[in-house]
């Protein structure tokens, strides 16, 4: 009875290799920590961070020495007392007045303030500096009388602190002095301070984007910049990590002669297909775990409306094509070299190409439907990353034909990359000696 064709059991052999690749990668302590424990740790730390920061806040103690006119000293004392009674309200009022957030503003607003204001004379300044330097006083503030004049064009003051003074405490003292000066200058002009501050409040806009289909969509500026980058970076990290496992595993198995044992039972094409399929499973695990961790964070911040289901579906589809292209390139490189040092020269050009989407994050997020973004959507191997940036970076949907065409181009490119990798893999997997150049790899692809 004639033997069954060799390809009859190919699917079973490919699945066996895929399971072996998946098992040896995923069921390890290192992978479990990076793919499972680390995302959970990130979520836990983000939830505990406010508590940890609140418990680590040190109260502001020590006298604040002030050399200034009596009115400025009294105004600064009032500002400091007001901040000490209700720091959260004081912070909100500053934001309403349009002031930019300062260093460590969140914890600054929670800092207990127990520092009395101590006025000093002009001839006591040098002695006051020594007190601050030695730690006997918290800070020294010098406010010239000219800075309180409503006609002054360049009001200023001096603040002296010790080297060990906390930045939060320095910020509180500086802000109290600045607000005291502003209050007195407004009063010196004859205007009502509270009325003036109310007039200076910056209105908050309700920004709506008028879409092409006649509807109105809420515009979220922060989301338009951060969410697309987070989607693209998540896809970039997971696909490249999975493909990098293929690179290192192929080099290790080739160097230890395990490849030769495997090739005695399967063909080079079956081996390549099984390895890529197995690492696809590990990539899916990482993408799922990190994606769920990110969604949990957005849910805790009540920002889930920034992540529609359609964006998640698109990310998964384009992540598959991105993985196949990157995995093909790195597996081909791994089959052609015998150690990681030799692989660096061949991986370098690949990395230069793959870094391009990271460099284009901001320009494409700024104008997702521009001509440049549209063109980049059809350029493999960066097209999957660019399309995810576009699809998640605008309130107005990307035209359906562009999404479909980009996905088709990415899928066709994946097939082409897989074919090219298979041609290189069958030659390089048993090659030894001097590593090939990129030109030689292309020559291998033409062998029959």
Q: What is the pLDDT of residues 371-381, one digit of tens each?
A: 888 899 899 88
What is the model's pTM?
0.65
Q: Which pLDDT score, from 0 to 100, does residue 2 have?
A: 45
Length of the chain: 448
For residue 39, the model assigns a pLDDT of 64
Predicted pLDDT of residue 93 = 62
pLDDT score of 52: 57
Residue in the structure block whose two tokens are 């496992």: 245
Ranges of residues in the chain with a pLDDT under 50 are 1-5, 103-104, 106
- pLDDT of 103 reads 45
Q: What is the pLDDT of residues 66-91, one digit of tens each?
A: 999 999 899 898 888 877 766 556 55
In SS3 terms, the chain reads as CCCCCHHHHHHHHHHHHHHHHHHHHHCCHHHHHHHHHHHHHHHHHHHHHHHHHHHHCCCEECEEEEECCHHHHHHHHHHHHHHHHCHHHHHHHHHHCCCCCCCCHHHHCCCCEECCEEECCHHHHHHHHHHHHHCCEEEEEECCHHHHCCCCCCCCCEEEECCCCCHHHHHHHHHHHHHHHHHHHHHHCCCCHHHHHHHHCCCCCCCEEECCCCCEEECCHHHHHHHHHHHHHHHHHHHHHHHHHHHHHHHHHHHCCHHHHHHCCCCHHHHHHHHHHHHHHHHHHHHHHHHHHHHHHHHHCCCHHHCCHHHHHHHHHHHHHHHHHHHHHHHHHHHHCCCHHHHHHHHHHHHHHHHHHHHCHHHHHHCCCCHHHHHHCCCCCCHHHHHHHHHHCCCCCCCHHHHHHHHHHHHHHHHHHHHHHHHHHHHHCCCCCCCCCHHHHHHHHCCC
pLDDT in tens, 192-245: 888 887 787 777 777 776 655 666 666 666 656 677 788 888 888 888 888 888
- Give the per-residue pLDDT at 406: 92
- For the chain, which domains are there? 59-200 (3.40.190), 220-445 (no CATH)
pLDDT of residue 217: 60
pLDDT of residue 3: 46
């Amino acid at each position: 009875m004639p033997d069954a064709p060799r390809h009859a059991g190919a699917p079973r052999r490919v699945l066996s290799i895929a399971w072996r690749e998946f098992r040896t990668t995923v069921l390890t302590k290192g992978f479990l920590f990076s793919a499972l424990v680390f995302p959970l740790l990130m979520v836990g730390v983000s939830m505990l961070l406010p508590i940890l920061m609140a418990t680590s806040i040190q109260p502001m103690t020590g006298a604040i020495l002030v050399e200034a006119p009596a009115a400025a000293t009294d105004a600064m004392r009032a500002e400091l007392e007001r901040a000490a009674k209700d720091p959260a309200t004081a912070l909100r009022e500053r934001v309403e007045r349009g002031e930019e957030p300062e260093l460590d503003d969140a914890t600054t607003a929670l800092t207990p303030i127990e520092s009395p204001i101590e006025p000093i004379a002009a001839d006591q300044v040098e002695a006051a500096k020594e007190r601050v330097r030695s730690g006997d006083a918290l800070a020294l503030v010098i406010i010239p009388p000219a800075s309180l004049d409503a006609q002054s064009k360049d009001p200023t003051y001096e603040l002296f602190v010790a080297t060990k003074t906390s930045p939060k405490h320095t910020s509180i003292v500086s802000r109290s002095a600045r607000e005291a000066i502003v209050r007195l200058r407004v009063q010196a002009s004859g205007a009502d301070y509270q009325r003036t501050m109310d007039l200076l409040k910056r209105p908050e806009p309700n920004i709506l984007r008028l879409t092409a289909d006649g509807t109105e969509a809420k515009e979220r500026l922060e989301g338009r910049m951060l969410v697309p980058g987070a989607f693209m970076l998540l896809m970039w990290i997971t696909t490249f990590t999975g493909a990098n496992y293929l690179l290192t595993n192929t080099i290790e198995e080739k160097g230890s002669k395990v490849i030769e044992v495997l090739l005695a039972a399967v063909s080079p094409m079956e081996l390549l297909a099984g390895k890529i399929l197995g690492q696809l499973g590990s990539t899916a695990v990482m993408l799922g775990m990190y994606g769920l961790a990110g969604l949990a964070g957005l849910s805790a911040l009540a920002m889930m409306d920034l992540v529609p289901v359609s964006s998640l579906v698109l990310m998964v589809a384009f992540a598959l094509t991105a993985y196949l292209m990157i995995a093909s390139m790195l597996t081909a490189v791994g089959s052609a070299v015998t150690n990681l040092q030799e692989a660096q020269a061949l991986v370098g050009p690949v990395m230069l190409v793959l870094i391009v989407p990271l460099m284009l994050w901001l320009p494409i997020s700024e104008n997702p439907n521009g001509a440049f973004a549209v063109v980049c959507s059809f350029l493999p191997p960066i097209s999957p990353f660019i399309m995810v940036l576009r699809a998640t970076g605008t309130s107005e949907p990307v035209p359906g034909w562009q999404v479909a065409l980009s996905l088709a181009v990415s899928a066709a490119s994946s097939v082409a990359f897989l074919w090219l990798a298979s041609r290189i893999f069958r030659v390089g997997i048993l090659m030894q000696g001097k590593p090939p150049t990129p030109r030689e790899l292309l020559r291998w692809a033409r062998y029959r």
